[in-house]
Amino acid sequence: MRGFLFSLEAAFSITLAIVAAACLPAFAMHEESPGNYLACSDAAGVLAKSGAFASQEKLQAAVDEAGELLGMCIEAESAGMGASSCDESRQGSVLSFAFPVWSGGKLQNARVACWQMH
């Protein structure tokens, strides 16, 4: 009886190992260029601290300038405002940062997304 239980435990362990190995690619880290990550996080920080979210015009101007400087598509949105530096559809990996900003006398949630132009 003891041998039978050990064989069931071994079979179950092997089955779990096979299932885990099959699922591993789904949870693997995505290869992302450190330069792109740092550039996008810097752009998000500059947009947050520069008062770009104060008005639609300021936001669009800041996003256009950041997109041109970085050579990336940049999209930002907060409290019903939104701006994009290019009209290309998102392709490949998209980096996205969310953070609080002070806008219109209130604390708002903002999001900045970046992706490479193709």
The pTM for the full model equals 0.68
Question: CA end-to-end span of the chain, whole Å?
Answer: 64
DSSP 21-63: HHHGGGGSPP---HHHHHHHHHHHHHHHHTTGGGSHHHHHHHH
Higher pLDDT, 18 or 71: 71
The residues that bridge with 72 in the sheet, in sequence order, are 116
- Contact (Cβ atoms closer than 8 angstroms) between residue 84 and residue 75: yes
| Structural domains for the chain | 34-116 (3.30.450.20)
State pLDDT tens for residues 42-101.
999 999 888 898 899 999 999 999 999 998 999 999 988 999 998 867 666 888 999 888
